[in-house]
Amino acid sequence: MSTIDATEPGAPLTTLGEDEAAFRDAVRDFARNEVGPRVHEMDERQEIDAALIRQLFEMGLMGVEVPEELGGAQVSFFVAVLIVEELSRVDPSVGVLVDVQNTLVNNAILRWGSELLRQKYLPRLCAESVGAYALSEAGSGSDAFALATRAVQADDGFRITGRKLWITNGAEAEIFIVFANIDPDAGYKGITAFVVERDFAGFSVGKKEDKLGIRASSTTEVILEDVFVPADNVLGDVRKGYKVAIETLNEGRIGIGAQMIGLAQGALDATLQYAREREQFGRAIADFQGVQFQLARMATELEASRLLVYNAARLKDAGLPFLREAAMAKLYSSEAAQRITSTCIDLFGGYGFTREYPVEKFYRDSKIGTIYEGTSNMQLQTIAKTLIK
Summarised one tens digit per residue, pLDDT across range 294-313 is 999 999 999 999 999 999 99
How many independent structural domains does the chain possess?
Answer: 3
pLDDT of the residue at 4: 34
Catalytic amino acids?
A: 373
Q: Do 251 and 384 fall within a single domain?
A: yes
Number of Cβ atoms within 10 Å of the Cβ of 334: 29
Helix axes 92-99, 77-88, angle to 10 degrees: 160
Q: Check which CATH number belongs to the domain holding 354 and give it.
A: 1.20.140.10
Please count the CA atoms within 13 angstroms of the CA of 213 that sit on its side-chain side.
24
Full domain range(s) for residue 85? 3-130
pLDDT of the residue at 36: 98
Q: Check which CATH number belongs to the domain holding 216 and give it.
A: 2.40.110.10
Q: What is the pTM of this model?
A: 0.95
Q: Do 158 and 102 fall within a single domain?
A: no
When pLDDT is cut at 50, 70 and 90, the band that residue 14 belongs to is low
Q: Do 269 and 229 fall within a single domain?
A: no
Q: Do 104 and 148 fall within a single domain?
A: no
Q: Do 300 and 229 fall within a single domain?
A: no
Q: Do 142 and 174 fall within a single domain?
A: yes
311-370 pLDDT per residue, tens? 999 999 999 999 999 999 999 999 999 999 999 999 999 999 999 999 999 999 999 999
Last residue of a domain, one of 182, 208, 239: 239
Q: Check which CATH number belongs to the domain holding 39 and give it.
A: 1.10.540.10
Sign of the CA dihedral 73, 74, 80, 86? negative
Q: Do 305 and 318 fall within a single domain?
A: yes
Instruction: Supply the DSSP string of 184-203, one letter for each residue.
Output: GGGGGGGEEEEEEETTSTTE
DSSP symbol at 65: S
Q: Do 62 and 155 fall within a single domain?
A: no
Number of Cβ atoms within 10 Å of the Cβ of 287: 14
Q: Do 46 and 137 fall within a single domain?
A: no
**Distance in angstroms (rounded) separating the CA atoms of residues 217 and 94:** 7
**Distance in angstroms (rounded) separating the CA atoms of residues 123 and 120:** 7
Q: Do 211 and 273 fall within a single domain?
A: no
Q: Do 206 and 253 fall within a single domain?
A: no
Kindly provide the residue ranges of all beta strands, DSSP E only, lying in the chain, ordered along the sequence: 3-5, 15-17, 131-134, 150-154, 157-168, 175-181, 191-197, 203-208, 219-230, 234-235, 279-280, 283-284
Last residue of a domain, one of 209, 239, 269: 239
Last residue of a domain, one of 239, 266, 283: 239
Q: What is the mean pLDDT of residues 177-198?
A: 97
Backbone φ and ψ of 88, nearest 5°: -70, -20
Sign of the CA dihedral 12, 16, 22, 28? negative
pLDDT of the residue at 80: 97
Contacts with 197 (C-beta within 8 Å, 6 or more apart), sequence order: 174, 175, 176, 203
Sign of the CA dihedral 15, 83, 373, 213? positive
Quote the mean pLDDT of the chain.
Answer: 95
118-161 pLDDT per residue, tens? 999 999 999 999 999 999 999 988 887 789 999 999 999 999 99
Q: Do 116 and 139 fall within a single domain?
A: no
Q: What is the mean pLDDT of residues 64-84?
A: 97
